[in-house]
Amino acid sequence: MTINRRHFIGAGATLTAASAAAAPAVRRSGSRPTVIASGNGFESRDADGLTCVELAFRQMTAGTDVLDALIAGVNIVENDPEDTSVGYGGLPDADGVVTLDACCMHGPQRRAGGVGALQGVRHPSRVARDVAFATDHHLLVGEGAQRFARNFGHPIEDDLNTDRSRALWLEWKRRTDPAHYPDPQARAEAGREVGLAMVAEGKIDPEHYYGTINCDGVNAAGDVCGVTTTSGLAWKIPGRVGDSPILGAGLYVDNDVGAAGSTGRGEANLYSLASFLVVEFMRSGLGPKDAGMAALKRIQSQTVHPRLLREDGNPAFNVNFYVLAKSGEHAGVAFYGGRSYAVCDEAGPRHEPIEGLLG
């Protein structure tokens, strides 16, 4: 097994962190305190050796507001230069600029906020929270979002690239533009093919090409919240905003029902507002797994363009849902399984398998 920085840092802290994170919580609503996240929620670690789900669970069960605890958790991933799908060091757009999207929803207070195409702020999740609680709006984008962030005291950095993200962009650029910009359609298709080739070669984690982190939690009182933050699709057209900051697409929370968030091909998720669908399926009586599978079937039925289909007629991309019911029941589902999602509850932090609809 290859030892990387995160495994090395985490090795000495895992047992201590697990014991602390699994501290019992008093239940008053029948809800089992639980935090779930995409797989990278149990990978990046802070200076104390805690991962996203561990820190969020520890804070939440100690009495911190659920959303504040979740945002503190995803900040760990936003800070990690080794995670090229979120925050600092996220894979840039086609011009080499890192632009970030985020959304948060507070179930009990019925508040939500998002930012899109935000440059220079490595913690877009915090800015999304300020949009939710300090404005009457749900979404700010581009230069306006950056000015808002500056006005609220968020540090603005000139460049969120790391040496790694910049090197990957330069390799992509060399492969896609050997003769300076062909026609836009050809360039877009060439860019997609090269990006997927770099995934196949192991240069880019397949989960980071469409990379995101979603994190959802419920406390003992039954308060449900969620947050999603991302650097978006690698090498995207500048100005592209995906599903992550859009209410009902990359995230949806209903305090009476639960929460759902998504990673994967954002355009497919946007077309169906599928995270909203997942929560509505739970409202109708389905459990988290079945609700997520039902939303995947909806996306599958709406995927008709040949360029988005495999030879067997199934989607040539993946969409993952992380689903949390108010009770604390949870599931991770996707078109294609084989990956895992992160969980922390009274049994401690861990990865659990994502179940595939199509294999």
Q: Looking at the annotation, which residues are catalytic?
A: 212
DSSP tag of 347: T
Rounded-to-integer distance, Cα 8 and Cα 209, Å: 25
Q: How many CA atoms lie within 13 A of 237 on its CB side?
A: 9
298 close to 272: Cβ distance less than 8 angstroms = yes
Q: Is 170 helix (H, G, I), strand (E, B) or coil?
A: helix
Ordered strands of the 258-264 beta sheet = 251-254, 258-264, 319-325, 330-334, 355-356
Supply angle C-alpha 151, 119, 272, rounded to 5: 110
123-127, long-range: CB within 8 Å, 24+ apart, which pairs? 123/75, 123/78, 123/79, 123/87, 123/154, 124/78, 124/87, 124/100, 124/229, 125/71, 125/74, 125/75, 125/78, 125/227, 125/229, 126/71, 126/75, 126/154, 127/102, 127/152, 127/154
Rounded-to-integer distance, Cα 298 and Cα 291, Å: 11
**Backbone Cα Rg of the chain:** 19
Q: Is 16 helix (H, G, I), strand (E, B) or coil?
A: helix
Rounded-to-integer distance, Cα 47 and Cα 8, Å: 12
Rounded-to-integer distance, Cα 34 and Cα 217, Å: 6
| Sign of the dihedral through C-alpha 303, 309, 314, 315 | negative
Q: How far are the Cα atoms of 118, 185, 254 from residue 32, in angstroms, in the given order?
A: 35, 50, 17
Phi, psi (degrees; rounded to nearest 5) at 193: -65, -40
Q: What residues pair up with 332 in beta bridges, in sequence order? A: 322
